[in-house]
Structure 1
Amino acid sequence: MVAIAAAKVGDRVKVTLSSGEIIEGLVYTEDRMTNMLVLQCSGAAASGAGAAATCSMRMLSREHIIALLVVQAQAWDWTGDDAATFSVAKLPTVTPKELHKKEEKALREAERAMAQLNARATLEGQALCFALSKTMDCEWDNVSLIVFDQVRVDPPYTANDCKMLPGCPPAALERIQKVLEGERRKMHQAAAATAVSTTAAAGSSQGDSSPPVVLSANGTPAPSTSHDDLQAKPAP
């Protein structure tokens, strides 16, 4: 392992790895947090009118670099082929105010996600809360769901369990009931499909235990004869 601090962005370097591989390219960046050196290596040449040349990016771990040679300092052509090969657009400036706004937004989203969890709710109630929260403002009040601060949904969370809160217009109740029943229907359909696939998988793993079909002389299935039928028939 060698120090790579001597190589600067834009230098053309030749790197020897512990595996014996030798790589030459332009230093694109150095990440000191992960001890990685990123090189921009030559790629395929441009072909055809208006076609751009390509390049490859190699991420090299500092631990596997045994030799590093600066072939040419600041070899990057900021106006020629290198600039056309790979974009070096300037990164936008992020102000502390913008960072603070992003942080506040992330905190609000995290608090909203935590508010949707209820250890006292049933599995179906928790699933309905997650489903309704995708399109509606939904929160818990003990084991009841409060939607839009207008409708309370009590267990077992059916349309008949929806109660209007003070100031709730009838249209809002009807809409929430419709969405609730739609989500319940999708949940039950998904559960039924899972049960069918599980049963089919269990049956295939155990094998087909049904009795074989006996054909008569004309090719049609012959009547089945049970063990009790054989015992009931008198001997000739």
Structure 2
Amino acid sequence: MADVKRNAGKTGAAQVSDSIDSLTAAIGARIKVSTVAPHSQTLQGTLFTACPKLNIIAINTAPAPPNPSSTLSNQPGDYHIIPIQHISSFDIVSLDSNAAKQTAATVQPPIAPVDIKKLREREEAKIRQLREQEANKGKGVSREAQQIFDALKRLLPTRWHGQEIVVSDAVIISPPYTVNDCKAPKGKDQALDRIRMVLDGERRKIAQRAAQGGTPPPGAPRKGG
């Protein structure tokens, strides 16, 4: 129905606002909309929705599908949201045969069921991850101590006990975390020797990276006292 027109150019946006009810009934129709400054333009496409509460319309400027029975939610889209007060005029170019049957409830994309179990599993996994990250942060320790902890944890089960580092539930490394600060109960001599060797190697790597970055290695005296 190309002869069906609504024009607000003469009386302003108020008339367009009053006509939004008729636009709602024309959802699915091809319309042409002209807007005022600062974004003056003319758009032509399918009316996707018209909301009297928000005073906006949504127009899909993508070409109409070859299958006229296709629902609005299945059509390819290039959507534009236009406030009613920005419209200077609009024309209904042609009415869809199913336009009268289209409503906001029928054109919106279908909502898939929510898998509550998976959402809970994801939530629990995220909580575990955050707790683990927090547990791996030393409280009141130096940056170098945290680097040593992180390096050891990549190789062996490692945790904080206050400011002491516990490795493999066998060896305790106390500040300042040198090989001489390692201790273990009787019968754990083999584990103690191994962890001392690993600690020495990791401290060398940290010192090398610090030297390359221009920062002092762990335990190095600061210039100026």
Report TM bin, short chain.
0.3 to 0.5
RCO greater where, 1 or 2, for CA within 8 Å and sep 6 or more? 2
Q: TM-score of the superposition, structure 1-length normalised?
A: 0.45
